[in-house]
Amino acid sequence: MHRLVLSLYLILAILPARADERALAVSWIWKSTPPGATERVFFRREFQLPPDVASAVVTVSCDNWQRLFVNGHDMGKGTDWHSPSTYNVLAQLKPGTRNVIAVEGRNEGGVAGMALSFRATLKDGKKLHVASDGNWLCENEAPEGWQDLDFPSTSWAKAVVLAKVGDPPWGDVMKLESSEPAAVQDKSGSFSLAPVTDTEEAHVKLPAAPPTSPTPSSIPAR
Ligand SMILES: [Ca+2]
């Protein structure tokens, strides 16, 4: 009898976890642990977008403070990790080529982490998803222009994954993830995220895209 009760308890305990797995996988990330009490971390994630993007939003949260940039555009800040900020970023995107999402995060004591979800819908209805994970690059110091698309961040460190969104210590503050059943994470492979260290390959996949890295001799002197 006890075994039956235990089994029922385990089944009930597992059900919510499986529901979470169907939601978008988003992780809390940081530069390293333990975080400094006033540590600042600059995050970057480059990715390739198809040409036919119809809508796109970013939801971001940080313990304790964050400012979001999309292709260098300042989208605003958030100061309460309990209340993630969501932005319509369609106007800031560059469909058909490389894009970069950048976040400045600041800790104000205790634990620290940043979580972000980018969801886009293509004109054919296909959903795309880019989330904070161990593929993001980060650094504690960043020069001017760190949030721009042409900033060379290949020497930056890979972010450390601290927890999945929904897990402690922050809990499920991004509830909209699971309440948006249409925004399913693409696992078919047809949505290819450009590896941040392999942009040449990404450009090869875009025969119609103009070169984004002009030779030094073509840059006018400032
Ligand atoms: Ca904190």
CA 216 to chain centre: 31
Task: Give the Å distance between the CA of 152 and the centre of ligand 1.
Answer: 29
75 lies in some domain = yes
pLDDT for 172 equals 87
Q: pLDDT tens for residues 20-52? A: 334 678 999 999 999 999 999 999 999 999 999
Give Cα separations from 159 to 32, 40, 115, 139 (angstroms): 7, 13, 11, 9
CA 21 to chain centre: 17
User: φ and ψ at 61, to 5 degrees?
Assistant: -145, 150
Q: What is the pTM of this model?
A: 0.73
Task: Give the Å distance between the CA of 63 and the centre of ligand 1.
Answer: 5
157 lies in some domain = yes
Neighbours of 207 (CB within 10 A): 6
3 lies in some domain = no
210 lies in some domain = no
Task: Give the Å distance between the CA of 149 and the centre of ligand 1.
Answer: 29
**Among the ranges given (81-85, 110-114, 128-132, 215-219), the one the predictor scored with the smallest mean pLDDT:** 215-219
CATH number at residue 104: 2.60.120.260
Task: Give the Å distance between the CA of 65 and the centre of ligand 1.
Answer: 9
Task: Give the Å distance between the CA of 64 and the centre of ligand 1.
Answer: 5
CA 134 to chain centre: 10
Please name the residue that has the structure tokens 């972010």. 159
Cα end-to-end distance, the chain, whole Å: 80
216 lies in some domain = no
Span 136-149, average pLDDT: 97
Residue 27 near residue 134 (C-beta atoms within 8 A): yes
Task: Give the Å distance between the CA of 62 and the centre of ligand 1.
Answer: 9
213 lies in some domain = no
Task: Give the Å distance between the CA of 106 and the centre of ligand 1.
Answer: 8
What's the whole-number average pLDDT of the chain?
A: 79
Q: Which domain holds residue 188?
A: 24-198
Question: How many separate domains does the chain show?
Answer: 1
